[in-house]
Structures are given as C-alpha cells and as structure tokens.
Structure 1
Amino acid sequence: MRWDPYIFRQGEDFDNFWKNYANEPSRRFLFVLGRGYDPRALSVLDKIVGFGGEVDIWLLAFDNGFQDSELRIQLTLENVQKLEALVGASKIRVIEVSLGRSGQGNATSRNVRQALRAAGSLDLYTDVVADISAMPRMVALTAVASLLHELDKMSVDGPDVNLHVTTAESVSADIGAARGTLRDDVTNVIGFTGQLDSESTDQVPRVWFPVLGEQQGIRLSRIRDKLNPDEICPVIPFPTREPRRGDEIIREHRQLLFEEFQVEPGNILRASEYNPFEAYKQIFAAMDRYRRALSELGGCKAFVSPLSSKLLSVGALLACYDHKYGAIAGDRMSVGVLYVETADYSDPVIDAGTEYQLSSMWLRGDWER
C-alpha cells in the first residue's frame, strides 16, 4: 500500500510539525481553499501563516445557480475579508467553479478538475496544501484526487512537489454546515465511475462500501437504487471521540441496512475516526480481499460512498486511488466514488463553542523518497 507507512499530524502534533516545516526558507506554498461561509475556513491557514509560511492562494468560488441567503453571503464576505487581511489581496487568485445541478451527472467534479488545470502552474511551488475545511464534499474529493494525480504525473520528468491535505475537523460542525436539499441523481468523482453504466461489464459483481455518518438515509437509498450492489459492506467510524457514535449510526440506519438492504452483520467494517490513513488501510484491504477472491470468476467492481467526516472521506478516496493507480499485483478492478450532492444549502447552524481539531495528511513528495 502506498500510504503504509504514512505521515499524519493532528492537534498538538499539527502545531509542532507545521511550526518547523513552514519556517524552512526554501519552501513556497500554494494553498487551495474554498470560498465559503464555514467559520473554519481559515483556521489552518491562520496557523501556518502565523508560523512564518509565505503563501499564494487559489480560492475556489462555488456557484450552484441558487441565490444565497443574507446570512451565508455575510459569513462568506467576512471570511474573504479576513483572508485578504491575512495574506494580502494580491496573493489571492479567485477561481470560479460552477456546481452541477440535478440531471447533470458529474458536472461538479468535472468543472473542479478543469478549473484547477486551468488555474496555473503547480511547479512554481515546493508544497501544495489543499485545505478542505470549507469545501463541499464533491469539490473537496475532486480537488484532492486531481491535485494528487497531476503532481504524480509531473514528478515523472519534472519537480517533485509535496501535497498536503488539511482540515479543521468537527463532526457536529459538518452536520450543521451541510443542511439543505439533495440533488435527485447520483454523481461520482471524475475518473472514478467504476464503469457503473458500462453494458459490457454489467454482469460483473458490484461491492459497495458506504462510509456511514449521521442523517444519511436518503443518500444511502438513492445510491443503492442506482448501484444495485451484489454485496454491501457498511463502514462505521470506530474508534471515535464519542464512544457510542458508531452504535448510534447503526441504530439510526438499522431498518434501512438490515431490513431493506439485507446487510449481513459480519460485513460491517470499522474505520478509525481519528486517523484517515488507518481508515484507508482498512478499506483498501477489504476491497483487495474481494478483488483477489473473485479474480478467477471474472473480477468485481468496488464502490465507496463517503458519507461520514471529511477525514474518513479522504481515507476512502485514497483506497480507490491506490487501487486504480498503485502497485497492484494481478488484475485491477474498476473502482468508483459515488455520492449525492447537496443542491441548495440551508443557513448553517453555528455553535460558537464548537471545538475544531486541525489535521494534516502528507500525501506525496519528499517523504516518499
């Protein structure tokens, strides 16, 4: 597995790592941020700039075609003003991204990838930091996958640029910020379709790994109806900061999972809420067991649905990325990342007392040499 061993920093370790790393005089940072209303939007950047890091900013400005509420407009404007005060307006490049609407398939993911490719040269920097704190889920996963793939290709005969993924993590804040109406259709991260609609491989078994979070019943039903999987392996967060969180998630979705989906209790996987790389290893290994077991029968397709925290979602994405591009012995299987996007957001529920944990994943670059 590519990310075994790995480099992951959280909490105090985050501060210690970036205090030393950002102060290295040879480093030039590009930060890819979301232009959003989330109060966590600048938490990571503020830390790294405070440690002495010199940064340029690519600010992804999302447009879903709907009029924002006065509250969301105000919160977004406040974040932009704080960003300009922090790094200076001349350091910020605004990148417009059109979000897909119902019936447009993977338009969001496709538009994000195209926008990043057209934004400028990555080889001007020693380090690219994708901070997903204020990005919608499909934007965040596409940004991570696209940047990782572009930098991997560039390193073959060009500079070896580091890629970090950071976030200010809070499960309760994610739930409060993501309220809204859902799109009608199922979408995927561009490049990770799993050949879902391919007629030539329609008879190949489909294994689905939904990474479960709270209040995901509608998404689960829509993805299951679209995918029609042969095997379902739900992934629950465990261990977690809230000791009973995994049990509560299972209880919330009990009827859907065990009565409607007919999930076998033995198929339930556990993935660490604390560490996305450990979750990556657990999901990657489970996918690989199916790949090897079914290889002589024509193989299988594996799909993940990132319905939990952003860190767990990135871990699930890396499992798919490694199966598609990594050093796999034997035949590869098709892998897909399926999701149902939020169409129109409600005003966020913001608790001023919510605590965020800063986390940093070092995905590629110097540490791999």
Structure 2
Amino acid sequence: MAHDHWENCVAHFDAQVDVFADEYFGRAEVHCLLVAAAGFDPRSIGIATLLAGHLGNRLSGLFVREERGTPDASLVTAADKNAEQLRALVPGCEIATVEIFGNDNAPVAGARIASVIRDYNIAAETTDIVLDMTALSIGVVFPAARLLLDHCESSGIAFHIMIASNPELDDAISSEPADRPMAVRGFAGTDHSDAALEISRIWVPQLAKGRTAALTDIGRSIRDTYKICPVVPFPARDPRRADALIAEYGTQLIDEWQVDPRDLVYVSESNPLDCYRTLSTLTKRYADAVDQIFVPSIILSPVGSRVMAAGALMAAIEHNLPVQYIETVRYDFDPAKPAAAAAPDMRVHLLLSGPAYSELGAASALSDVEDAPRHLGDVAA
C-alpha cells in the first residue's frame, strides 16, 4: 500500500504530544490498544501513563516482556516493578513473554512477536492502535510495526507510533551483541537473486554509543558494499554528540569502512520524519543514478535512538529496504543510578495511518510540512 501521505505525516513533539493526547484520546468514542514493552527501561511506563490518564477504561494493553539469557537481578527487579505499574495503569492488560533466542541460540524474536500479535484478540470497538517504540528491541518492534500497520490499514483503524526518547539514558545502557547478524523478520528487502545486472549495495548504519562491536559484525556480514553511509544525530540535544560518535568509530570509519566524510548522513535526533525523508531521498536518487547500470540495494542498520529508528522503519516499509541487525544477548544498566536523571524525556507522536488522512484529503493541502502538527488538532475537535 502506498504511503504518499507520509511526506506530510502528522507529527507532534514534546508539549504538543500532551495537547494532542488531550484533544484526541480524550474523546469518548476513541478506544485504544497500546502495544509496548514491559522491561527494565525506566521509560517503559511513560506513554502508558499519558494514555491511561486520558482514556481510562477505554485503553487496553498488550505489553511485551523480552527474555534473553540470564539477566542481572537488578534488571529483573526493575522489569517486575514496571510490569506491576503497567497492570495498575491498564487493568486487564496482557503481558506476553517473548523469548529472543531459541534453544539453539538462534534469534527468534521476530517469529515470536508475530505469533503473539496474531494470537491477540483486538477488541471490535478498537479505533486506534498505539505502538510505543521506546523500550522494544529492533528485532521485536520492526516486525510488530509492520503487522500492526497492515492490520490497521486493512481495518480502517488509526495507527500511531509514540516514543519517549532520552539519548543520555540510551548512552547509559550498554549491550552485548550476539554473533549472528541477520535480516529483521519481514525486512529482507527485494530478492535480487535473478537480477540480470550486478547488485550495488549501500550500507546505512546508525552510529550509537557502545555499539561498535555490533556494527562491525553487521558490516562484515554484508558483502561487496559499494559505499557505507553512517547516520549520525545532528541536530542533537548535545551539540557534540555527532563529533563524539565519529571519534568513537574512528577506526571503523577510516580503516575498515573507508568512509568519505561527505558520505556521513546527518539526521535530527528528535524528529523521525527527518530520518525518513533523508533515507527516502537517498534511495530515490541512488536508484536514478544507477538505473540500467546496477541494481541498487540500500541496507539499513538502526541500532541506537528509537526516534531515528522510527524514521528508518518508515523508509524501510515505504521502499521495501532490507534491515540488517544483530540481536542483543544481555544488557548492562543500573536502574538505581540513571545517568540521565537530570535530562527530560523527549516525546514524539506519529500518526501513520487512519481516517484522519482521508478527512484531511491525505494532507495534500498542507503546503508547509512544519504546519502538519499544528493542524491535526482540528481532526480531534
């Protein structure tokens, strides 16, 4: 299904999210399903708290608890506490356990979350589904997003993505990667095995603090790369964040990936639409440049900020791009001492599909993209 309206996608940021939630979810006819994480991340309850305050008993919940290996006891305690709070916020919610690895240690998160979603009974009165990407891993949230978007588009239900982003907190959570880079379930891209022309690959990894080992392994798994275009956050809340990442990845950028500085991709740390539009433009221009010479293949690897990952998700769905990643074996984080305690969360809301777009004429009348967030309040009125 075409998603032309994403060029003028309805979006809200920070204080605008509160206004939207009050005007839209506060209406008596709205019945919402929230799909989110029930893990150790302290941001896990943020979006649920916001929605529960406006929806009350009109909010149902499907919360995913990711299980991997033998986690630290403090993380299990934090996850138990968050699950308890989610049950209090959304009475009658379902908390589903999703095993990330199978008995042979192969990543199976995509298949498991697909099974959970297909088996979940979405109430007939549901008008909206919100996917909270804040604390779900890429191997879980990307397949979930595709399945939920397909369901909403076929059922006339509005599909939202919401995120409570905190880059400083992201930096405080370290992870140990597994040893099997692979495509995210549902994001293998186009099969070029029968292509008459040579395939020319561009790899677009998202740089994130502490993820050098993961991205190095992913990069080595992608053969015959024509060019590597790393994504870095700019503008960002910390103006030096991009510089710090370039310094951290210096060995990979210079010695292993041989990245030309002109090939760095800068996208906003707070606006997923900037990432979506940038990747969409890169995809279209590259296809035009190599038309009838090579078969273009752009491979994404979003491993850091969920805001930037949301933009990569939209681009991957719109252009059928492969997403290559590596699953996490374990996380290391001290919930009692969050490094980002003084940094507020940055909240994002995206409306990816639903009746609002037909009511707004697929947003075609919005000549200024930046006006879109200010106009959606009219839909809820």
Q: Under a length normalisation based on structure 2, what TM-score does the superposition of the two structures give?
A: 0.86
Partner of 1:329: none
Q: Which of 24, 27, 40 is the aligned partner of 2:27?
A: 24
Q: What corresponds to 1:15 in structure 2?
A: 18
Cα deviation 1:280-333 (Å, max 9, x = unaligned): 001111011111222212421111110230010110111111013xxxxxxxxx
Decide whether the 8 Å contact of 1:182 with 1:343 is kept in 2: yes
Q: State the SS of the aligned residue for 1:300.
A: strand
Going from structure 1 to structure 2, the CA distance change for 1:204 and 1:123 (only over 3 Å counts) comes to farther
Q: How does 1:111-130 map to 2 (within 5 A)?
A: 111-121=112-122, 124-130=125-131
CA contact (8 A) 1:102 1:184 kept: no
Of the candidates 262, 270, 286, which is equivalent to residue 258 of structure 2? 262
Root-mean-square deviation (CA, aligned residues, Å) is 2.1
User: Which has the larger displacement, 357-366 or 314-323?
Assistant: 357-366
Query: Hey, what does 1:312 align to over in structure 2?
Result: 308
1:285-324 matched pairs, under 5 angstroms: 285-324=281-320
SS in 2 for 1:239: coil
Question: Does the 8 A contact of 1:95 with 1:119 survive in 2?
Answer: no
Read off the aligned partner of 1:340 and give its amino acid letter: I
Structure 1 runs of 4+ aligned residues shifted over 3 Å read: 101-106, 121-124, 198-203, 347-350
Q: Evaluate the alpha carbon distance shift between residue 105 and residue 336 of structure 1 in structure 2; reply closer, same or farther with a 3 A threshold.
A: farther
Deviations 1:310-362 (A, max 9, x none): 010110111111013xxxxxxxxxx2011111112234454244421222111
TM-score, with normalisation over the residues of structure 1?
0.88
2:135 aligned residue: 134
**What residue is the counterpart of 2:374 in the other structure?**
none
* Structure 1 segment 197-208 matched on structure 2, within 5 A: 199-201=193-195, 203-208=198-203
Tell me, yes or no, if structure 1 residue 225 matches structure 2 residue 220.
Answer: yes
The one-letter code matched in structure 2 to 1:231 is K
Work out which of the residue numbers 315, 331, 348 in structure 2 matches 1:345: 331
Which residue in the other structure is 1:359 paired with?
Answer: 348
State yes or no: 1:183 paired with 2:172.
no
Name the % identity.
Answer: 24
CA contact (8 A) 1:2 1:322 kept: no
Structure 1, gaps ≥5 residues long: 325-334
Contact 1:102 1:183 survives alignment (8 Å)? no
Within the alignment, does 1:55 sit opposite 2:59 as a pair? yes
* Contact 1:32 1:60 (C-alpha < 8 Å) held by counterparts: yes
Deviation at 1:101, TM superposition (A): 5.6
User: Post-superposition shift, 1:246?
Assistant: 1.2
- Shift in Å at residue 259 of structure 1? 2.1
Q: What do the CA deviations read for 1:193-239 (whole angstroms, capped 9, x no partner)?
A: 1358x754594111111122222211221111110212111121111
Comparing 16-25 with 248-257, greater Cα deviation is found at 248-257
Aligned-pair CA distance for 1:106: 5.3
**2:251 and 2:177 mapped to 1: Cα distance?**
21
Residues of 2 paired with 1:272 and 1:282: CA distance?
10
5+ residue gaps, structure 2: 359-381
CA deviation after TM superposition for structure 1 residue 162, in Å: 0.6
